[in-house]
């Protein structure tokens, strides 16, 4: 995973277990940040569209050779613990091959939650 430090303006490649394998990875997705206390640390929420072979980048929507990723779980990354978790969800639909979608993370001040 590439990590950019905004204070030192440096980019670092970190090996992180639990997200894909040596032979496959994810593409056509989004990653959103849920800040921790005082906007430090927090979680990354990963929603991906396609799982495909490493080194095989799909360039068009007609060129999708990977499998769709189910939203029956969501991948979460703990920034302080540097660990990926798979969180189950209420979604029970079939895995879809998704491209060109986006997400929006909104904080509800009244309830103190992110949606």
Give the model's pLDDT for residue 61: 58
Please state the pTM of the whole predicted model: 0.74
Of 30, 100, 94, nearest to 64 (Cα)?
Answer: 100
* pLDDT band for position 22 (cuts 50, 70, 90): low
* pLDDT band for position 54 (cuts 50, 70, 90): low
Facing residues of 74 across strands?
87
Tokens 């990977």 locate to 66
- Burial of residue 52 (number of CB atoms within 10 Å: 0-12, 13-18, 19+): buried
- Burial of residue 75 (number of CB atoms within 10 Å: 0-12, 13-18, 19+): buried
User: Do 55 and 25 meet the contact criterion of CB atoms below 8 Å apart?
Assistant: no
The residue that leads in pLDDT, 62 or 34, is: 34
């Amino acid at each position: 995973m590439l990590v950019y430090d905004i204070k030192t303006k440096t980019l670092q490649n970190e090996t992180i277990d639990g997200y894909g394998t040596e032979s496959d990875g994810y593409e056509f997705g989004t990653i959103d940040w849920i800040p921790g206390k005082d906007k430090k640390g927090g979680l990354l929420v990963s929603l991906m569209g396609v799982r495909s072979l490493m080194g095989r980048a799909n360039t068009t929507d007609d060129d999708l050779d990977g499998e769709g990723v189910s939203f029956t779980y969501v991948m979460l990354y703990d920034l302080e613990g540097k660990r990926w978790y798979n969180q189950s969800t209420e979604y029970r639909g079939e895995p879809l091959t998704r491209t060109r979608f986006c997400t929006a993370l909104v904080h509800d001040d009244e309830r103190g939650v992110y949606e």
